[in-house]
Amino acid sequence: MAVNSGVSFVLSSILSVLLFSWMQMYKAWLSSSQLGTVLGGWMGSLLFMCTLTAVGNLESILFGKYFQQKLLPEVVFSLTLSLIASALIHRVSTTTCLIFSMIALYYMNRISQETYGVSVQNPVVQLKKRK
């Protein structure tokens, strides 16, 4: 079920705060094992997706429906925030957060292009046949 930008902004902001606080509450458990550090990086990538969604929805509310997210301000801000949150757990969590976030960003971009992208038709050039 789809919601409007305002509700999506509130939901993704709440999820971002909950993920960050859960990562900090269970920092000792996440850094105690190899699986925990990878799980901490995966949670950091979830934080990246929620933060990027919140920032995108806020810009949609402020600047209009057709405002697009760019690489430099929005994606870099969300990625930096999630990498710092993962670095507070463990160094390996930071690396896995970067890897998982890049994979998530690729699929988010792919879904966005399939949903909102404009397909450009290639012009067909017909050559005259000589007799």
Give pLDDT, residue 50: 93
HEC profile of 66-101: CCCCCHHHHHHHHHHHHHHHHHCCCHHHHHHHHHHH
Domain regions of the chain by residue span:
24-113
**Four-CA torsion 28, 32, 37, 43, nearest 10 degrees:** -30
Task: Going from the first residue of the chain to its last (131 residues), give the mean pLDDT of each consecutive group of 10, the final group possibly shorter.
Answer: 82 94 91 90 94 89 79 87 92 93 91 76 70 63
Whether residue 61 contacts residue 5, with contact meaning beta carbons closer than 8 Å, is answered with yes
- Reduced to 3 states (helix: H, G, I; strand: E, B; else coil), residue 117 is coil
The pTM (predicted TM-score) of the whole model is 0.81
